[in-house]
């Protein structure tokens, strides 16, 4: 947020435009924030001034990212969490509540998993793992976060979802039923994570307060037939 100096050399309060395009003073939980879209989202929100907590199953990777963000001057904390575990999700939200004093402004449900297999080859374990991470987990996190979001009074929830719900994709039938990330991740190279994270940041900004209950497709025209896969 910028500060202007008047002719008398005194600081003037930020303009309403400054406030609409800033996340200064706001808090966020970004799941799966150590790589891909999650990593880009943490960077984007932190760049707008938000304080962020993220989680990962990989302690080493989490520590490396936290050290990196500290060096950039970002306010980011993190904890290890396997989101397929209900108990660990509860513990994650306790950690978030403690870190942000009982309030949470932004919940970004990003973490996802998949297996590339034909529909006839998927097992019950595959189904349980993918649906547990991609559907049960974000739904439960919304329930757990509700008191914190309500206490905020200005909260937003963003789901990183899928174009698979509107078009057929091969070998990801279970993933398509939960959510699929059509971006340049180790899974599928279509768009840069930063192109998704910038839209996530916009939805979190006060400037987007009237954008609610919407599905926004960010896929370079893929679902409209205007994008050709390389």
Q: What is the pLDDT of residues 214-226, one digit of tens each?
A: 888 888 787 777 6
Residue 201 has pLDDT above 60, yes or no: yes
Q: What is the pLDDT of residues 82-121, one digit of tens each?
A: 999 999 999 999 999 999 999 999 999 999 877 777 778 8
Q: What is the pLDDT of residues 68-82, one digit of tens each?
A: 999 999 999 999 999
Q: What is the mean pLDDT of residues 49-61?
A: 97
Which position among 39, 74, 127, 175 bears the catalytic label?
175
- 23-112+128-161+180-208: CATH topology: Rossmann fold (3.40.50)
Say what the pTM is.
0.84
Q: Judging by DSSP bridges, how do beta strands 27-31 and 11-12 pair with one another?
A: unpaired
175 is catalytic: yes
Give domain limits for the chain: 23-112+128-161+180-208
């Amino acid at each position: 947020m910028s500060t202007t100096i008047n002719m008398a050399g005194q600081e003037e309060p930020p303009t309403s435009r400054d406030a609409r395009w800033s996340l200064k003073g706001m808090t966020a939980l970004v799941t799966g924030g150590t790589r891909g879209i999650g990593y880009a989202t943490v960077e984007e929100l932190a760049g707008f001034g938000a304080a962020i907590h993220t989680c990962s199953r990989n302690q080493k990777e989490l520590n490396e990212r936290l050290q990196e963000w500290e060096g950039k001057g970002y306010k980011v904390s993190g904890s290890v969490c396997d989101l397929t575990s209900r108990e660990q999700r509860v513990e994650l939200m306790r950690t978030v509540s403690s870190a942000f004093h009982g309030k949470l402004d932004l919940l970004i449900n990003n973490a996802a998993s998949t297996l590339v297999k034909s529909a006839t080859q998927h097992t019950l374990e595959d189904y349980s793992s993918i649906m547990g991470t991609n559907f049960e987990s974000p739904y439960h996190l919304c329930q757990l976060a509700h008191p914190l979001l309500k206490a905020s009074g200005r909260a937003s929830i963003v789901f990183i979802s899928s174009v698979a719900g509107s078009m057929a994709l091969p070998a990801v039938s279970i993933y398509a039923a939960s959510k699929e990330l059509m971006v340049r991740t180790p899974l599928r190279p279509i768009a840069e994570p930063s192109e998704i994270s910038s839209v996530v940041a916009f939805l979190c900004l006060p400037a987007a307060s009237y954008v609610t209950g919407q599905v926004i497709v960010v896929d370079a025209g893929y679902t409209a037939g205007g994008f050709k896969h390389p």
